[in-house]
Amino acid sequence: MVFRTKPEIALALVDRARANGVRVRAWTCDELYGRSSAFLDGLDQRGQVFVAEVPTNFHGWMTKPRVLRKGPTRPRRGRPKTYPRLAAKASSCEVGNLLRYSPVFRRQAWRRYRVKDTTRGPEVWEVKWAAFGRKADDGLPSRRQCLMVIRNVVTGDVKYFVSNRVPGDPGISLRFLLRVAVSRWSVEDCFRQAKEELGLDHYEVRGWRCVHRHFYLTQLSQLFCARLRQTFAAQNARDDSLEPLSVEAVRRAVNAWLQATTTPTSKTERLQKELNEQRYYEKRRKQACLSHTKTRKKRLKELGIDPDRIRSCLPPSDG
């Protein structure tokens, strides 16, 4: 077994998925992979579209810097310079500073998009973008790419993304790049639920086989919960007082059923007690969601934003 970094493992998984016939329109990743130039270069060399989140200290250029291909002919003392290299005064800049000081971003108006609907109401983010050349491992600029900056209109949270496609390329729009960028959040929510409710991170083992078995069991449990939530979604939708089942609700119901099977005499009482608690908490969750949504829409209205009238990057099935 050879040590490999996470970006190297990710590239190997991408290769294996493509070899098995998996095709995707675009890949997305968090800052851990976005700061790895080798990973981004690997995706680009494979002809894969990516939208990668990058940290605020990620470096690049808004205008293509001058690159020296060869040096002076007259001999000079000291160690010879390597070429190609950047010309003097062509240093890169952090993306956080580019947002503050670059004329391209300062003159550009924010575009608002409804990116997702949550239990706390609709989320609206603003976006700016510009052509960008990221700094590669050799210190030279990459080919023309896209730097996208998004900002939450309520919290002011700012995130930066880099893509090897630019709006206006065939089949590429700003709305598409934004949808790819925020699609990772739903995946992260699945991991959070698996850790909090299904014990994804509750393992103490020494071998990787045991870890794999634990992960498989956790994923099967999450699939079971998802199937039950989907089955009862239509039933809960007919009752305005009920909120769709959560993973926690399914887990509690299954635990109650398993415990009741060991004591047949009190099975009915135990199940009825759990059913009453579930209905109580469902109504509480419904009330809380309505309250949070009302507060969020009120805050957006104060900012002069109507989430139903602005552009949306939600998938057609959700929006």
pLDDT given at position 243: 65
pLDDT given at position 10: 96
Tell whether 38 and 141 lie within a shared domain.
yes
Tell whether 122 and 218 lie within a shared domain.
no
Take residue 309 and report the two structure tokens written for it. Answer: 């009238």
Task: Report residue 167's pLDDT band, with 50, 70 and 90 as the boundaries.
Answer: very high
Q: 130, 165, 185 — which closes off a domain?
A: 185
Q: What is the CA radius of gyration of the chain?
A: 25
**Average pLDDT of the residues in 78-97:** 78
Tell whether 14 and 57 lie within a shared domain.
yes
CB 146 within 8 A of CB 134: no
Residue 314: pLDDT over 50? yes
Residue 23: pLDDT over 90? yes
**Separation between Cα atoms, residue 278 and residue 301, nearest integer Å:** 34
Write the pLDDT tens digit of every residue in 32-83. Answer: 999 999 999 999 999 999 999 999 999 998 887 777 777 666 656 767 777 7
**Separation between Cα atoms, residue 47 and residue 56, nearest integer Å:** 26
**Separation between Cα atoms, residue 164 and residue 261, nearest integer Å:** 56
**Average pLDDT of the residues in 85-107:** 86
Burial readout 21-39 (b: 16 or more C-beta within 10 A, e: otherwise): eeeeebbbbeeebbbbbeb
Q: How many domains does the chain have?
A: 2
Tell whether 254 and 300 lie within a shared domain.
yes
Q: 160, 185, 210 — which closes off a domain?
A: 185
Burial readout 181-218 (b: 16 or more C-beta within 10 A, e: otherwise): bbbbeeeeeeeebbeebbebeeeeeeeeeeeeebeeeb
Tell whether 247 and 128 lie within a shared domain.
no
pLDDT given at position 112: 94
Take residue 2 and report the two structure tokens written for it. Answer: 């050879």
Q: 166, 185, 204 — which closes off a domain?
A: 185
CB 48 within 8 A of CB 40: no
CB 143 within 8 A of CB 133: yes
Pairing mode, strands 145-152 and 121-134: antiparallel
Tell whether 94 and 41 lie within a shared domain.
yes
In a domain, 19, yes or no: yes
Tell whether 158 and 234 lie within a shared domain.
no
Take residue 223 and report the two structure tokens written for it. Answer: 């699939």
Tell whether 166 and 302 lie within a shared domain.
no
What backbone torsions phi and psi does residue 108 show, to the nearest 5 degrees? -90, 135
* Domain ranges, residue 282: 196-312
Tell whether 18 and 159 lie within a shared domain.
yes
Tell whether 211 and 306 lie within a shared domain.
yes
Place of tokens 């009915």: 268
Tell whether 136 and 269 lie within a shared domain.
no
Take residue 81 and report the two structure tokens written for it. Answer: 């310079």
Write the pLDDT tens digit of every residue in 267-296. Answer: 777 777 877 887 888 888 888 888 999 999
Q: How many CB atoms lie within 10 A of CB 2?
A: 4
In a domain, 191, yes or no: no
Pairing mode, strands 311-312 and 111-118: parallel
Residue type for 100, please?
R
In a domain, 307, yes or no: yes
